[in-house]
Amino acid sequence: MGKTISEKILSNHAGRELKAGDVAVCDVDFCFGQDGTSSIIIDSFKKLGVDKAFDKSKFYMIIDHSSPSPNIGVSAIHKKMRDFAKALDVGMYDIGCGVCHQLVPQYGHVTCGDLVLGADSHTCTYGAINVFSTGVGSTDLAITLASGKNWFRVPETIKVIVNGKLPKGVYSKDIILHIAKDLGANGATYKAVEFYGEAITALSVDARLTISNMAVEIGAKVGLMEADAKVIKWVAGKGAKTEPKPVKADIDAKYVSVKTYDVSTLLPQIAKPHAVDNVANVTEIGDVKIDQAFLGTCTNGRLEDLEVAAKILKGRSVYPGVKFFVAPASKEIYLDALKKGFIETFVKAGCSVVAPGCGPCVGTHNGVLANGEVAISTANRNFKGRMGNPNSFIYLASPATVSASALTGRISDPREFKKRL
């Protein structure tokens, strides 16, 4: 019987052959925590009675969720993380470095074939570069920090094939929102997803990361893709310490289901309040005025996301009264965007460019909404209260749709600006 990518990567890390449904203890290649989860990691680690990391080079503390700190409580968490990193002599990405899911692959901490745990649900992002990566809670992460291991139930896999050529003005974000609508918030609970098809291979690696990032929004443990030449080149450019070990599924691998999509006629997609799978075509959305726009996050804060926004915004002004926040996903992306003139475009258009990090996505700072306000965001979650106010409304879309909407003051079809795309 052939094996899926998940079955192979977990087998490689358990030292024995595994199939879906098996439970095994596996060696983990890299793990990390962020400022929303690290306080409990530290507490649990201390309870374990251990005083050192299993491998100093394989753990990072990353401050991104509430960065810079908006209040004394968060400042105390950040200080606790710094003190802990120092005591354990482990790496730390402090305020201003960027979002964990950008930094971990960008700095070569992970490569194809690795097994990775993060104390953050969007750790599934690196599935796009052929890494079995998944989110866990803080205590699970503490166990791995102490031992280098954790237990895994080998997931069943859903095969998703995305055919066709994306039309202009439609992006990888639209693909994953469309899939979320079809499969639902629990369509892949406990399972892995493997993405295939010409529409996936045509995407840049950055655009693929957007799709794997949102695998958890359909309940998936990981959203895996094969390592093609683009991925191998991408990881080689990030200076990973170990050689990539690309893993392909066998031709006779067993899938619980196969879903096929054709995106040739896909329209820009919008997730409406208050659920990620509450998705409609932009043309069906009606007249929705917005108060705020947000470009950034682990979903869509990368250079090509900023580029498409800059193209739409260049020489124009954000609609009067609309607040537009931009958070580059990392310091490097910020610097590249500066060199390319994107940041100047944003500032001239009236955007507020905030520190690299999660920005207002988690609702603790950088643009909390007022009662009744409406935001359109490139993030991955629009739960009620997500951006800090349960009496506000969040729509999710691609960077192009968000930028087009910021110019018109209402949710708009980016294809209206297609001469710029």
Report the nearest approach of other proteins to the CB of residue 47 (Å): 5
Half-sphere exposure of residue 158: CA atoms within 13 angstroms, side-chain side: 21
Tell me if 363 contacts other proteins by CB under 8 A. yes
Tell me if 125 contacts other proteins by CB under 8 A. no
Tell me the sheet residues that pair with 149: 27
CA distances from residue 100 to 31, 61, 68, 97, 248 in whole angstroms, order as listed: 11, 9, 15, 9, 26
Nearest to 159 by CA among 57, 249, 48, 290: 249
Nearest to 222 by CA among 307, 325, 326, 118: 118
Between the two ends of the chain, the Cα-to-Cα distance in Å is 46
Question: Quick one: tokens of 205?
Answer: 């690696």
Among 137, 164, 167, 409, binds other proteins (CB under 8 A): 137
Tell me if 48 contacts other proteins by CB under 8 A. yes
Nearest to 220 by CA among 126, 124, 86, 345: 124
Distance of alpha carbon 85 from alpha carbon 56, whole angstroms? 10
Nearest to 176 by CA among 377, 380, 327, 362: 380
Give the nearer residue to other proteins in terms of CB position, either 76 or 236: 76
Among 29, 35, 64, 413, binds other proteins (CB under 8 A): 35
**Cβ atoms < 10 Å from Cβ of 21:** 9
Report the nearest approach of other proteins to the CB of residue 4 (Å): 17
Contact window for other proteins (CB under 8 A) among 4-12, 147-155, 244-252, 407-415? 147-155
**Cβ atoms < 10 Å from Cβ of 93:** 26
Report the nearest approach of other proteins to the CB of residue 21 (Å): 10
Among 19, 82, 248, 384, binds other proteins (CB under 8 A): 384
* DSSP annotation of 215: G
Size of the residue set binding other proteins (CB under 8 A): 52
Among 140, 332, 336, 416, binds other proteins (CB under 8 A): 140
Distance of alpha carbon 136 from alpha carbon 32, whole angstroms? 10
Contact window for other proteins (CB under 8 A) among 302-310, 315-323, 338-346, 360-368? 360-368
Among 19, 68, 121, 311, binds other proteins (CB under 8 A): 121
Nearest to 261 by CA among 172, 189, 192: 172
Place of tokens 């603790």: 364
Among 8, 18, 29, 36, binds other proteins (CB under 8 A): 36
Tell me the sheet residues that pair with 33: 61, 119
Contact window for other proteins (CB under 8 A) among 137-145, 157-165, 337-345, 402-410? 137-145
Tell me if 370 contacts other proteins by CB under 8 A. no
CA distances from residue 83 to 39, 78, 160, 168, 388 in whole angstroms, order as listed: 11, 9, 44, 49, 28
Please, which of residues 91-120 interact with other proteins by CB under 8 A? 119-120
Contact window for other proteins (CB under 8 A) among 182-190, 200-208, 291-299, 317-325? 182-190
Give the nearer residue to other proteins in terms of CB position, either 329 or 369: 369
Among 151, 243, 284, 370, binds other proteins (CB under 8 A): 151
Contacts with other proteins, residue ranges (CB under 8 A): 23, 25, 35-37, 39-40, 44, 47-49, 65-66, 71, 73-74, 76-77, 119-121, 135-140, 142-143, 146-147, 149, 151, 153, 185-186, 189-190, 216, 219, 221, 275, 362-364, 381, 383-386, 388, 390
